[in-house]
Structure 1
Amino acid sequence: MAKGTVDFFNDTGGYGFIETDDADEDVFFHMEDIGGPDLEEGQELEFEIEEAEKGPRATNVERL
């Protein structure tokens, strides 16, 4: 599994991006895939990277 930190989070839209050394670009995530309380910028996560139509997307996201 990859590890990274929340680089950007839009609480209105419920989505954001994770900065990680395991991908060439930031990885998209949506709160519908995570559940629980909103994430905060700088929060550490563990996740899997799935190639989606618009680029890498985080799945199986866990808070560390």
Structure 2
Amino acid sequence: MAKPQETYNKKEKEKKRLKKREDKQHKREERKKNSQGGDLETMLTYIDEDGNFTDTPPDPTKKKKINAKSIEIGVPKREEEVVDAIRKGTVEFFNDSKGFGFIKEIGTQEKFFVHVNGLIDKIQEGDRVSFELERGMKGMNAVRVKKG
């Protein structure tokens, strides 16, 4: 059987591979020689009470005791708005064909959406009405709207 031919290119690639391996070994030995020990204490970093990194451990006398049971995990419950039962206002805009409009409250000048399904009496623009509020998908809606 014939011996595989070693070309100049193959020899050069092999030399580069060997050189790379030797360089890697040399760097590894240098790192081991120059390292300052690998014990845990030299690798630890602490954070002081101001949030800065330091290599000295914190003072145990300044340690604060925290009750783990007092930590609440999750989103705090939102308190529901307490609304007056019956409010008074005027119809600012109402479109009969589309079945919705807006009522402006007399005291606060706030506007509330009203839908035809929330009406007790038939209303028009400019009518004085009394209504109750209910939370809708996009905010507070006027419901149980009647003239008066």
The 1:4–1:23 alpha-carbon spacing in structure 2 relative to 1, beyond 3 Å, is same
The 1:43–1:13 alpha-carbon spacing in structure 2 relative to 1, beyond 3 Å, is same
Deviations 1:14-55 (A, max 9, x none): 110000045673111111221553x21110110111121211
2:116 to 24, 27, 31: 31
Q: Secondary structure in 1 aligned to 2:117?
A: helix
**Structure 1: gaps of 5 or more residues:** none
**Structure 2: gaps of 5 or more residues:** 1-85
The answer as to whether partners of 2:100 and 2:113 remain within 8 angstroms in 1 is yes
The 1:13–1:5 alpha-carbon spacing in structure 2 relative to 1, beyond 3 Å, is same
The 1:2–1:35 alpha-carbon spacing in structure 2 relative to 1, beyond 3 Å, is closer
The 1:24–1:55 alpha-carbon spacing in structure 2 relative to 1, beyond 3 Å, is farther
Q: Which residue of 2 aligns with 1:11?
A: 96
Q: Which residue of 2 aligns with 1:51?
A: 135
Larger Rg: 2
Q: Which residue of 1 aligns with 2:145?
A: 61
Q: Which residue of 2 aligns with 1:2?
A: 87
The 1:27–1:5 alpha-carbon spacing in structure 2 relative to 1, beyond 3 Å, is same
- The one-letter code matched in structure 1 to 2:105 is T
Q: Secondary structure in 2 aligned to 1:32?
A: helix
- The one-letter code matched in structure 1 to 2:100 is Y
- In proportion to residue count, which structure has more helix? 2
Q: In the comparison of the two structures, how many residue pairs are matched? A: 63
TM-score of the pair, normalised by structure 1: 0.80
Q: Superposition RMSD on alpha carbons, in Å?
A: 1.9
Name the CA distance, whole Å, in 2 between partners of 1:50 and 1:24.
Answer: 18
Q: Which moved more, 1:17-26 or 1:48-57?
A: 17-26
- The one-letter code matched in structure 2 to 1:46 is S
